[in-house]
Every structure is written in structure tokens, then in C-alpha cells.
Amino acid sequence: MGAVWPWAEPGSEFASSYEALVIDRLMDYERGYVKTLFLPDWSEGNPYQKLLINGLRSNGVEADLDDFHRRWPRLLRTVLKHGSCDIVHLHWIDSYISWITSSKGTLKQNIKILLCFIDLLLVKIIGKKIIWTVHNIYGHDAGNISLELKLRKLIFRMAGAVIAHSESGKKDIIAEYGITNEGSIEKIHVVEHGDYCGYYPNTVKKNEARYRLGIGGDGKVFLFLGAIRPYKGIEDLVDAFKECNFSGKSKLLIVGKPGNTEIDGKINRLIEGIDNIEFHPKFIDDDEIQLYMNAADVCVFPFKKILTSGSVILAMSFGKAIIVPKQGCLMDLVDEKGAIFFREHRTLKECLKVAEKKELESMGENNLNLIKHYGWDFDASKLVNVYKNVSCGKRC
């Protein structure tokens, strides 16, 4: 044990954990299955990890969820707590690197980067394989982009495999992180984001949904539903909708919990005195999602930049037509039969006007049929292949 942790005396926390880990690991090899640990636990209010874990279990892989330990070495302490996992699967890493990105001064930052490297290295030394799903190129609230880039490149190098949710997402990771080595490019694998079909209640019809939300008339209802953050482009959407000068029948609903009071205040000021724009600044419970989705004719997502969007997948799972920017990751997901794309030759305002006059039901049906191909069992089976090959020391 001293060769692994020179400071770990017999009977210490680390030594006892390591002994238990070795015994559990030998038993796992006899049983012949893979175990993974998802970090951090974002299952509260977001079904992504729950559904992926269910898919993994259907494919013979056990999975646990946890948050990063508060004390250094943060990752190692968390892994030891879970003993016999083979794979340490990182998802949203903001909470793991925040103790570094919040530091002031280059010297302090560099020392913490070194400690982060040691933490990752120790996890690898005890035989764990690190997998990282890149959900965002940078954190949505990243302040120091150059520092965050260093940390993300470090985690990329230490990972045995990296997951992107689309081919375009893979290209973005390569470009943004400056990946040029062929071996490093090969360790990026595409495993698509699963659908949300059937996960949320979906029994309320359009007329009832509109009645319960207090929406009258038969005009088009445009919906943005999701977390309210600056990169989502909500202010652009409000401006574009106001410029359209739609009749009172058409309405825009902006629904979701604001990331801070500043953006909440901005949106309220922008829509002041506008009767056909409603802002519902709150977290939406699972059984309420169907009210907004089924009341809407089209969902609008005016992202400034995006790598993966669960909100778009949710809208497609409810059979909604969508308006989205012409970005690669979204074009991998949906086609012009189900989406109205803006940028380049068409503005967001023009897209809203097209949607207001367009028959949208067939577009929504197209999106529902497309997204049904992304079942969690199938996606999980692709992930299991990555797990097994990395666990065996192969580049899959």
C-alpha cells in the first residue's frame, strides 16, 4: 500500500478503503460485470441520468450516483467511498473545478491545477477508468475561460474515453480544445442523448391545457421552456417577437427558472405592457410540463451557442415543431421537415413569422418519429461497449 499512497498508514482511512476496494474488485472480476459511478448527481429535476442508468442496467451494468467530496483529493475520496466501481463517469464538471476557477492569482491557480492532476492520477493508479461526457464546451457561467480551458484539457487527457452526443459535438470538442493527436481524437465516441418519450405525463389535450393556463383564443402559441440563462437568448426572442407585431391571438410563453435575479428583472422589463408575452419564472414540476407543451404549437430555442440541448429533445418527445439556430449539433438531431432554422439567410424574426402562418402539426409528428430512434437502451448499449473496451485497456 505504501507504493500507492506513501502517507497511508495501516488502519488509516485510505488504507482500509483500499483493502476493501481490492477485495470487491476481485469479486467483480469473478462475477464478470462492469460497475460505473456517475458524478455529480444531477438527477434531481433532470431525468437524464436516471434514464441512462436504467438503460445501463438493462445492458448488465450497475451504476451509482454521487456528488464530489468536499475535501481534496475530491475525486479519490468519492471513488473510495464506492469501492468496487470500474468506471468513474464524469458528467457536468463545474462543481469539480469550481474550487480552482474561483481562485484569484496565477500561483494559487497553478497549485490547484497540480492538485487536480494528482487527484485524477491517483484514481487511475488504483485501477479506475475515467470517462467524461462533455455536455458543454465551457460552463454556462464560466468567468475565466482560459483557466477553464486548461482544466478541461487536463480532464480530457486523463480520461480513458470522452463522450459527445453528436458528430457535430465531437467536431466542436476537437476544435475548441485544440485536439490534434490522432490517438486523442479516437478516444472521443458519439453516444446520442436519449429521448423523453413516455417519461412525463402526457394526457392533457391542447384545449384543456390552454384553458388550465388561462390562454384563450385559437392563435399560435410559441413556447420557450427551460432554465433561463444568458446563453439561451431569451432577450433576443422577446425583441424578435415584439417586432413581429402579431395580432392579439398569437402568444409567446417564456417558462422556466431564472439563473439569477438580474436576468429575471431584464425579461420583466422587456415584456412590460406587452399583452401577448407571458413570463412564468418558476421551476416546472413534471406533471405541469404537459400543460405548456400541449398548449404550444411550436417551441422556440434561440440559443447563442449550444453543444447539447435536453430542452429540444423534450420538445421533440412531445411532438412539437421547433425553431432553432442553424448549429451543427441541432442539425444532427432534427431536419427541415420538423424545424425552422434561423441565422445565415433567415433571422429569428422571419422564422417566427413563417411559423405563425405555417401548418405545424406534421412538423411535430416528424420530430416525434425522429426522436423515437434515440431510445435509452440502445444509447446505453453503445456506452457499455465503450466501458468494456476501456476497462480491458483497449482503445475502442
- The DSSP secondary-structure symbol of 343 reads B
State the helix-helix crossing angle for 106-125 and 74-81, rounded to 10 degrees.
30
For residues 71 and 138, give the distance between their C-alpha atoms in angstroms, rounded to a whole number. Answer: 24
Answer for the pair 368, 379: CB distance below 8 angstroms, yes or no: no
- What whole-number percentage of the chain has pLDDT above 70? 90
What are the cell numbers at 259? 439563473
Q: Cα separations (Å) of 86 from 74, 79, 321, 340, 384?
A: 18, 10, 41, 43, 12
pLDDT value of residue 45: 81
Helix, strand, or coil (residue 366) = helix
- What whole-number percentage of the chain has pLDDT above 90? 79
Which residue stretches of the chain are H helix?
A: 13-31, 48-58, 74-81, 94-101, 106-125, 145-158, 167-176, 182-186, 206-213, 234-244, 261-270, 286-295, 310-317, 328-331, 348-357, 361-371, 376-391
Helix, strand, or coil (residue 37) = strand
Answer for the pair 201, 290: CB distance below 8 angstroms, yes or no: yes
- pLDDT above 80 for 156: yes
User: For residue range 28-55, what is the model confidence (pLDDT) as tens digits?
Assistant: 544 456 899 999 999 988 999 999 999 9
- pLDDT above 80 for 4: no
pLDDT value of residue 328: 85
- The DSSP secondary-structure symbol of 211 reads H
Amino acid code (one letter) for 2: G
What are the cell numbers at 189? 465516441
Report the pLDDT averaged over residues 324-335.
92
pLDDT value of residue 83: 80
pLDDT tier, 304 (very low <50, low <70, confident <90, very high otherwise): confident
pLDDT value of residue 299: 98
Within 10 A of 118 (CB to CB), how many other CB atoms are there?
Answer: 14
Question: Please, what's the b/e burial string for 130-154 (b: 16 or more CB within 10 A of its CB; e: otherwise)?
Answer: bbbbbbbbbbeebebeebbbbbbeb
In the chain, what are the domains? 33-194+375-391 (3.40.50.2000), 206-371 (3.40.50.2000)
Among 215, 376, 193, 359, residue whose Cα is nearest residue 280 = 215
What are the cell numbers at 207? 384545449
For residues 310 and 324, give the distance between their C-alpha atoms in angstroms, rounded to a whole number. Answer: 13
